[in-house]
Amino acid sequence: MDELKQDEPVSRGPLFYIGAAGLMTMMVVETAAVIGRRIGMPVTGALEIAQVAIVPAACAAMLIATLKGAHAAVHMLTDRMPESAQRWALGFGSILAGLCFAALAGGSAWLAMEYWNSFEESEVLDIPFRPLRATVTLAAAALSLAFFHRARRPRKGE
């Protein structure tokens, strides 16, 4: 049987549609910007719109991959280990990933608090950065929690 074909339909939750909307927005804006530059009518603020659109797309993609255990992984070494060592390595890796995302969430929260009242905006379109900083902080915190949860119950093959 072909590995790419699936027997049952894939369920897509709100994270999928949030990420897809961000990615589609970015692609449409960048396509319009390239065409506009070629015909002499540049799209003002296209880079800023693309940057704003990629934040929910990237956050959703990382959350989906983490929650489904679908991160790319190489198992050349761990497949040769005893099963107990494989579980330990997966748990330890999950703890390290959780700490990494906890540090990212802490740093993002720190920056968000530091600049919250400065009304930081993009230069051309005056897009506020507050919601973007909040989104990154919440996504990093959720990723940290997901990895810590996985560390408590490591499963082979993830």
Q: What is the pLDDT of residue 1?
A: 43
Q: What is the pLDDT of residue 61?
A: 93
Say how far apart CA 29 and CA 36 lie, in whole Å.
Answer: 10
Read off the DSSP letter of residue 43: P
Query: Exposed (0-12), middle (13-18) or buried (19+): which is 104, by Cβ within 10 Å?
Result: middle
Q: Decide if 52 contacts 123 (C-beta within 8 A).
A: no
3: Cβ contacts below 8 Å, ≥ 6 apart: none
Q: Look at residue 2 and tell me whether its pLDDT is greater than 50.
A: no
Q: What is the pLDDT of residue 4?
A: 53
Say how far apart CA 58 and CA 124 lie, in whole Å.
Answer: 23
Per-residue tokens: 43: 């799209």
134: Cβ contacts below 8 Å, ≥ 6 apart: 112
Q: What is the pLDDT of residue 6?
A: 56
Tell me the pLDDT tens digit for each residue of 10-27. 668 889 999 999 999 999
35: Cβ contacts below 8 Å, ≥ 6 apart: none
Instruction: Give this prediction's pTM.
Output: 0.81
Say how far apart CA 134 and CA 60 lie, in whole Å.
Answer: 14
Would you call 158 helix, strand, or coil by DSSP? coil
Q: What is the pLDDT of residue 28?
A: 95
Q: Look at residue 124 and tell me whether its pLDDT is greater than 50.
A: yes
Q: Decide if 49 contacts 122 (C-beta within 8 A).
A: no
Q: What is the pLDDT of residue 3?
A: 55
Mean pLDDT for 82-86 is: 83
Mean of the per-residue pLDDT values for the chain?
Answer: 87
Mean pLDDT for 117-140 is: 90
